[in-house]
Amino acid sequence: MSKFFISRENIYGDKLKITGEDVNHITRVLRLGTGDRLTCCDGMGKDYCVRISATDKKEIVCDIESAFKAETESSIKVTLIQGIPKVSKMDYIIQKTTELGISDIYPCKMSRCVSKPDGSKKVERWQKIAREAAKQSGRGIVPSVHDIITVSEAVEILKNTDISFVPYECAENAYLRPVLTSKNDVKTVAFMIGPEGGFDKSEIEKLTANNINIVTLGKRILRTETAGEAVLSMIMYEIGDINGGL
């Protein structure tokens, strides 16, 4: 059954309405109309099974048949802090980490970032990519793509989670699994990935000075657009929901 995200303000009593681009998709692409069923999600973890009761060019009104907690979210919230790469790579990173269960994405301006995007316009576009990927993958929430941050701001985010770490190609004998299994009842995890040029030495020194775990991902160096989804998969398998655990 097709799934669409709606604003909570569009839910009222035993009805809800769908607006925006989804109206055209539902009526013209899927060719659904009065009496057909859909799944809607408020983007905050609650799903609604609904039946279309009325349509026009601007909105679709639906009767709510049932409401229930989305079953597609992990019990842990994972944050990615991503050194800003070239445009197409960031699009890919947002799409794939959304599919794998990321909760928050913070683009980070770093010393070796090649791309210098206009913050507000890019973030708006990135949020739309996250929304579409969340819809496609059946998520119960739409991950938040935040405004661009600095390394100093990234450090504060890393310090305020249950588990945090930074993969670094020059790290030796410091592996990810011991970090992920170092605590019980983990609710929040955050990690930071460098841009195409990697981390500047001063950035690693700042992270180390703030007691952030610096880890290796093995003998091979991953591209920035590969690293985030690879690490997120490891997290979700080890302490998330991919292995049927939490």
DSSP β-ladder status, 37-41 and 15-19: unpaired
Better-predicted residue by pLDDT, 106 or 219: 106
Closest to 3 measured CA to CA, from 34, 43, 63: 43
CB 58 within 8 A of CB 23: yes
Per residue in 122-141, pLDDT (tens digit) is 899 999 999 999 999 999 99
Q: What is the DSSP string of 118-168?
A: -HHHHHHHHHHHHHHHHHHTT-SBPPEEPPPB-HHHHHHHHHTSSEEEEE-
pTM listed for this prediction: 0.89
Is pLDDT above 50 for 246? Answer: no
Residues 55-84, mean pLDDT to the nearest whole number? 94
Per the DSSP assignment, residues forming a β-bridge with 47 are 41, 68
Closest to 33 measured CA to CA, from 63, 5, 54, 58: 54
Q: Phi and psi at residue 84, in whole multiples of 5°?
A: -65, 120
Per residue in 106-117, pLDDT (tens digit) is 999 999 898 777
At residue 120, the pLDDT reads: 74
| pLDDT, the chain, mean | 93
At residue 244, the pLDDT reads: 61
Report CA dihedral (7, 132, 21, 123) to the nearest 10 degrees: 80
